[in-house]
Amino acid sequence: MDRTFQVDLRGVVDLLSHHLYASPRVYLRELLQNAVDAVTARRATDPDAPAGITIDSTGGTLTVTDTGIGLTEEQVHELLATIGRSSKRDELGFARHEFLGQFGIGLLSAFLVADEVTVTTRSATGAPAVEWVGRADGTYRFGPAERAEPGTTVTLSARPGAESWLAGPTVVELAALYGSMLPFPVTALGQRVAGDGPPWRQDQRPAGERLADLVGYAQDTLGFTPFDVVELDVPQAGLTGVAYVLPFQANPAERAGHRVYLKRMLLTESADGLLPGWAFFARCVIDAAELRPTASREALYDDSLLEETREALGERLRGWLVGLAATDPARLARFLGIHHLGVKALALHDDDMLALVDEWLPLETNMGRMTLGEFRARHGRIRYTTTAEDFRQLAAVASAQGLAVVNGGYTYDTEIIGRLPALDADLVVQRLEPSDVMTRLSPVDPAEELALRPFLTTAQRALDRLGCEVVLRAFDPPALSVLYLLDRDAAFQSELKATRAKADQLWAGVLAAFEKPAEDRPQLVLNHRNPLVRRVCALTDPAMIALAVEALYGQALLLGYHPIRPADAALLNRSFLGLLDSAVPKEDTP
């Protein structure tokens, strides 16, 4: 036997308020939406019909009156009392995209703030006026009404605890928030809150005045003065609007807050996914006719059209950047000083942006800050470090040996340097390894090194337990006493040993298979041109040699920003206290 579903309206309202809508404030948006659809439907058949919406609130009672197409008695029974059927959508013969409402649940949002909703309406077809009163318990009554002109009036009386949502200041604020860009007059408590359309509308304003209006909108609505304004237009989505370039650095991990309108009605103030991920330096305000909302009308439905729109908006911003490079290099430099991360992220995938970064974005090098283009012109091949720590350690030594090095340790820099051959196929890009620097360091005179063999043997014995090799070289600058060189293989082996020490017997055996011979150890390079090192080399007391070499080892770790292991921390403490004990006279010493 077939039966009909029974709907518990109070349960549906509870579902809407707790799971579909983020806040009860959407009730006014839904009432405005219905009124806008009614006005749109009437003007489609009668372009000269009056268009306007009036909102009043007094004593906990709210009324929303429109000059729209109205409803007949049959339509009231069919549409207002049927959940899930969008009013005036198909029954009045219009395609769905002509109207804001798409899910037939908008009027139910009124029950978020009221227990009773009264709809007084008169159809533009000339049918008599009727009144429909719906209650939150799922019942309604119907009867004739007095209304002279076509249109609809919706009346709400606040339920206990919801009076603040129907208070005058709140109503004006919500009406301005949701309906400020509607193309016909909307009046809330005597204040006009809409009717002029969006600030980017095409009209007879001079270009300077139009730009001032766009900047003023950002100041008033978004709270900042934009670095620049980029106008947007995506015909396939019926989209127009602007992208405001932020005047301050944005966090790529933060959710972007784009302001989205659908057919001039505010959808959300914090839409994400509207722009590509790299474009986090811009905030958009757009109006679209073809993009689809979710059922709650508080977000955009992520479909193929939204993906196409996202790509088109990204292309527009990319074009703006390329154009800025060609027309206003000084302004581009200011932009890059603020939003270099976004541009570098785009350069990872876009050759035009890569060329822009190559020509305009200065990077840190051991020869001073310069662009990659300038670096290539001066030094030919590009040598780079992959971490800022390696750069800090090797920059001065490499410079003294005539090696120009780029610091690739900042976000995206290493990846961008690796892509440079896409611009110049003959370019040689080479990662600078500590072993490359080692080959540039001059060996000590053989006779002198032979004389220092006892010292080196004692020093090596002191650092053997730390897995470090002691090497003596002569290099510039003389002020640098020591270097700690750790290439990729040695770093891997060091990490492998530390992990093996913590693992159980089974995994320790597995990890042991990856260990290599001891020649992959890190190197502590003593600079024989440094006066302090030469004095240390002259020591003969094994205990003092061990303390001095351990102290130099600790200094090298700190100067190179290397991680300090527990064994290294103990060594630093021991060498410091030992040297201090040797330097301070004992109590019985005259």
Q: What is the mean pLDDT of residues 315-322?
A: 92
In this prediction, residue 84 carries a pLDDT of 54
Is the distance from CB of 280 to CB of 253 less than 8 angstroms? Answer: no
3-state secondary structure (DSSP) of residue 74: helix
> How high does pLDDT run on average in the chain?
85
Q: Is the model's pLDDT at 464 over the cut of 50?
A: yes
Predicted confidence band of residue 10 (pLDDT cuts 50, 70, 90) = low
In this prediction, residue 98 carries a pLDDT of 47
* Nearest CA-CA partner of 76 in 147, 141, 16: 141
* Nearest CA-CA partner of 100 in 153, 190, 30: 30
Q: What is the pLDDT of residues 170-229, one digit of tens each?
A: 999 999 999 999 988 999 999 999 888 899 988 778 888 999 999 999 999 999 999 999
Q: Is the model's pLDDT at 94 over the cut of 50?
A: no
Q: Is the model's pLDDT at 146 over the cut of 60?
A: yes
* Nearest CA-CA partner of 77 in 131, 3, 14, 154: 131
pTM of the entire predicted model: 0.72
Which of 4-8, 9-13, 547-551 is the most confident on average? Answer: 547-551
Predicted confidence band of residue 92 (pLDDT cuts 50, 70, 90) = very low
Q: Residue 260 is encoded by which pair of tokens?
A: 């989205």
Q: Is the model's pLDDT at 581 over the cut of 70?
A: yes
Q: Is the model's pLDDT at 280 over the cut of 90?
A: no
d(CA 61, CA 150): 22
Q: Is the model's pLDDT at 242 over the cut of 90?
A: yes
In this prediction, residue 97 carries a pLDDT of 46
Could you tell me which residues are beta bridge partners of residue 231?
242
Q: What is the pLDDT of residues 374-419, one digit of tens each?
A: 999 999 899 999 988 888 888 888 888 888 999 999 999 999 999 9
Q: Which are the contacts of 82, defined by CB distance < 8 A and separation ≥ 6?
A: 104
d(CA 345, CA 277): 9
Question: Is residue 148 packed enough to be buried (19+ CB in 10 Å), middle (13-18) or exposed (0-12)?
Answer: exposed
Which of 73-77, 139-143, 458-462 is the most confident on average? Answer: 458-462
In this prediction, residue 589 carries a pLDDT of 56
Q: Is the model's pLDDT at 87 over the cut of 70?
A: no
183 or 542, higher pLDDT = 542
Is the distance from CB of 474 to CB of 444 less than 8 angstroms? Answer: yes
Edge to edge, what strands does the sheet with 191-194 contain? 140-144, 130-135, 114-122, 151-158, 61-66, 53-58, 186-188, 191-194
* Nearest CA-CA partner of 452 in 435, 468, 474, 437: 474
Q: Is the model's pLDDT at 91 over the cut of 50?
A: no
Is the distance from CB of 475 to CB of 529 less than 8 angstroms? Answer: yes
In this prediction, residue 107 carries a pLDDT of 76
In this prediction, residue 74 carries a pLDDT of 87
Of 84-98, 243-257, 362-376, 426-440, least confident by mean pLDDT is 84-98
Q: Is the model's pLDDT at 438 over the cut of 70?
A: yes
Task: Tell me how crowded residue 197 is: count the other CB atoms within 10 A of its CB.
Answer: 16
Could you tell me which residues are beta bridge partners of residue 121?
130, 152
All structural domains of the chain, each given as residue ranges with its CATH number in brackets, are 9-194 (3.30.565.10), 207-325 (3.30.230.80), 361-438 (3.40.50.11260), 441-486+522-583 (1.20.120.790)
Q: What is the mean pLDDT of residues 228-245?
A: 95
